[in-house]
Chains A and B, each alone.
Chain A
């Protein structure tokens, strides 16, 4: 069971808007650690989609946006396209005895109807 909780699946029709939540706790997101998001297309390696809560790397369409509040973060995708069908993961850090651990959410499968 992942420290960061994501819905297993979401779906939407082309052109619609979907959101994916990432819920943590006071030892990770709530402690002020940043959240990053990754997109993993079928059969490929993950790709950085959003960094530091709401920033897009060069080349990522502005249809993708991120936000963070309290102990949670969200990824929003507007103008849904067939090519967006993929698995999405949030990532943050968690306080531990050794300093901090890198943690991932369990992943959310996006289906474009």
Chain B
């Protein structure tokens, strides 16, 4: 079964850091771009970052540039999002997803909640 399972979310104070992980299974992880998408409570979807198959290209939404870092370990079939200098506006459910780049984002994890609050 094709599956993505996120972990690492939780409550963190403003200015703090958190590292999200995403474990992939059921497909050849190293063959796909991967992406993080977030959704603030009661709000719409916002693309956060994506990474090429070999990690050589990474792109970020302007609001997280310099604070977040996306990475992957193809040997472990895992995707990561290192989040530093967290702000209240980063509070959201974070989804790990497989991006086919041509045929859309076709596989989504269940999401992990990140709450930034003092």
Contacts and interface: CB of A to CB of B under 8 A. Distances in A.
Interface residues of A, number: 26
B59 A51 contact: no
- Report, as a range, how many residues of chain B touch the other chain: 20 to 34
Interface stretch (A14-22, A23-31, A96-104): A96-104
Contact of A45 (B46, B99, B103, B109): B109
Question: Binding site of B, secondary structure by majority: helix, strand, loop or mixed?
Answer: strand
Interface string B38-80: 0000001111001000000001010000000000000000000
A46 interface: yes
Contacts of A55: 103
Contacts of A47: 108
B26 interface: no
A21 B63 CA distance: 27
A40 B47 CA distance: 15
Interface of A: 2, 34, 36, 38, 40, 45-48, 51-52, 55, 57, 87, 89, 91, 98-107
Interface of B: 35, 37, 44-47, 50, 59, 61, 95, 99-100, 102-106, 108-111
Given A38-B104, A46-B37, 20 more contacts: A2-B44, A34-B102, A36-B103, A36-B104, A38-B105, A45-B109, A45-B111, A46-B95, A48-B104, A48-B105, A52-B102, A89-B44, A89-B45, A91-B45, A100-B59, A101-B59, A102-B35, A102-B47, A104-B37, A104-B47
